[in-house]
Amino acid sequence: MASKTRRATGRKTEIDVLARSRHRCALCFGLHQDSSVKQGQIAHIDHNPANSAYANLVFLCLAHHDTYDSTTSLSKNFAPGEVRRYRTELDIYLKKEKTTAWPDFPRAPGAGPSDAAATAKLSSPDVYDRRIVVYRAFRLFVLAALRKATVSLEDLGRFAEATDEALFLVGPEVSEYLRGVYSKGVRLYYTSNRIRDERLEPREDYSSVVHENADVLNWFSQSIEIGRSVFAEAVRLG
Ligand SMILES: [Zn+2]
């Protein structure tokens, strides 16, 4: 029983760490101001795997996790204090940007010159293929949400990653829509987890959480149809 409790605590801490970083790597951010969503892992800052306290954990991309844990010459590696500092900088950045669920997703509707150039470099079949990939990622995300009546942080991370390049491939209407899908996904994650955790001991606003959860699920159930028409124009291309 003790180990079961410990495991549950570990999982909760893990979710807290992932939610805190929202899949952004502290080293990518600290070194390159790169705040894009990464495939990554949770690292122990003091290199002690037994110390799974929240303060000792940080989300790092796979490459940086490898570098950080490698035992080669300390001078070349990152100091724990340095990693903590980057983590704090990332915290501050994400807090400032918290109005958008997708802080690294450029909002500018008119594609900038670099975006236009990037699109121009792609031949039409390439653009078509890649738009289809974005559309499929959207469908997979929504269908999984409806099947499970919730989403996981992994689902959210995969969706954000797969649709990250959508802005220069599809018009502003589709990218705004995808941003909306993502933030509904975050609400679905939040409300369904609270309902699960508080079934026996509901907090004060429990009933509004239950309502929001029903609303968000309803929104998802309509979004296959709506999403298809939002994408129709963008994907129909010779
Ligand atoms: Zn990184």
Phi/psi of residue 52, nearest 5 degrees: -100, 35
Distance between CA 107 and CA 128 in Å, rounded?
22
Residue 185 neighbours by CB under 8 Å, 6+ apart: 141, 145, 151, 155, 156, 159
* Ligand 1 (single-atom ion) residues, CB below 5 Å: 25, 27-28, 61, 64
Residue that is written with structure tokens 């790092």 in the block: 60
C-alpha 76 to ligand 1 mean position (Å)? 16
Distance between CA 140 and CA 135 in Å, rounded?
9
C-alpha 118 to ligand 1 mean position (Å)? 24
C-alpha 67 to ligand 1 mean position (Å)? 9
Q: Sign of the CA dihedral 99, 102, 104, 105? A: negative
Is pLDDT of 166 > 90? Answer: no
Could you read off the pLDDT of 114-136 as tens digits, one per residue? 444 444 455 566 777 778 888 88
Could you read off the pLDDT of 29-45 as tens digits, one per residue? 999 888 888 889 999 99
pTM for this model (two decimals): 0.52
C-alpha 32 to ligand 1 mean position (Å)? 9
Compute the residue count for the chain.
238
Phi/psi of residue 185, nearest 5 degrees: -60, -40
Distance between CA 45 and CA 64 in Å, rounded?
12
CA dihedral 218, 224, 228, 234 (to 10 degrees): 90
Could you read off the pLDDT of 173-227 as tens digits, one per residue? 888 888 889 889 988 998 998 898 888 888 888 999 999 999 999 999 999 889 9
